[in-house]
Amino acid sequence: MKRSNRFARGIVALGLAMGALACVAAPAAPESITTAVPAMKARLAAKVPLTGIARAGNALVAVGDYGMVVRSTDDGSTWQQAEGPVSALLTAVHFVDERHGWAVGHGGVILGSDDGGASWKLLEVLDERPVLLSVHFLDAQRGYATGAYGAAFRTTDGGRSWAPMAVGSGHDADLHLNHVFSVRDGTLFIAAESGLAFRSTDRGASWTKLDTGVSGSLWSGFERSGGEVVLLGMSGKVITSRDGGDTWQARDTGTDQSLTAGMTTADGGVIVVGAGGVVLRGNASGPLQLEIRPDRQNLAAVMTAPAGGGVVVAGQLGVERLVSAR
């Protein structure tokens, strides 16, 4: 009897506490509706505009608008919504192994997951809320996040604390740092606005500006199986370097649509996607083949499926397994 009484009082107290909490939370602060409110449970989570895809072991994880994070464990056939702590547009996601991953987005938000993308925690909301555009980790501890107007940060404790990092200087200090990535020997690259690219061989302590020979913005980059570094961006531009970024050659793509993302496939080929439904494919040596999807949707990300050799693309209309025209 006594115990149940105490139990009841406990319930009442809990209720009061929750009520108080609700009162505090109710008037959503204007600034924070996107960063403080968790992502809505949505029927169309996988149909929202998505901007990035990563692989976590056998799972695929994609992020995008309204703070959506979706996950697939069957090579992209079906997608489940993961619980996301924010509602802001997420712009990039990266995993170093099957468990540890990070995502960044607008409003300076940095999210982390240690269960392969099934659940996410808000690790950091950066001061002045920069628009973050890219995140990359070398291992479970050391990582980098870059974004608009020269925003660049790094962490050595798995994302719990972040320190600013100077990339460009002078006129170049305010440029958008669109994509940060690394190659096999640990060298870091950043694809940036106005045809700029940066390289760091000391894990981000110092950065060198590269002469790419192009003027349009570079949006993304990756390393090919042979060690060739590829940068891509506006106006269908693809440039490659065989000497670690010292010299660059322009590649013919046959399109003037902006290219948003690319990667090396398991068989050593490449696949690049872009605006207007553009998909470029190439094998290890030959030229790139242009394909235009009938829906013309702007694609933002591409990832090979863990098994079966399929490819998953993400864009304006969400994620989709790519059905090749061939």
129: contact with other proteins by CB under 8 A = yes
| CB of residue 201 to other proteins, shortest distance in Å | 27
Buried b (16+ CB within 10 A) or exposed e, 104-128: bbbbbbbbbbeebbbebebbbebee
> Which window, 119-127, 150-158, 159-167, 213-221, contacts other proteins (CB under 8 A)?
213-221
Closest CA to 190 of 234, 245, 129: 245
66: contact with other proteins by CB under 8 A = yes
| CB of residue 245 to other proteins, shortest distance in Å | 22
11, 19, 31, 97: which one binds other proteins (CB under 8 A): 31
14: contact with other proteins by CB under 8 A = no
Nearer to other proteins among residue 65 and residue 124 (C-beta): 65
315, 318, 319, 322: which one binds other proteins (CB under 8 A): 315
Q: Round to whole Å and give the CA distance between 106 and 288.
A: 33
| CB of residue 178 to other proteins, shortest distance in Å | 7
The footprint of other proteins on residues 223-282 (CB under 8 A) is 234-235, 258, 260, 275-276
The residues binding other proteins (CB under 8 A) are 27-28, 30-31, 33-34, 37, 40, 42-44, 48-49, 51, 65-66, 87-89, 91-92, 106-107, 129, 131, 133, 176, 178, 216-217, 219, 234-235, 258, 260, 275-276, 294-296, 298, 300, 315-316
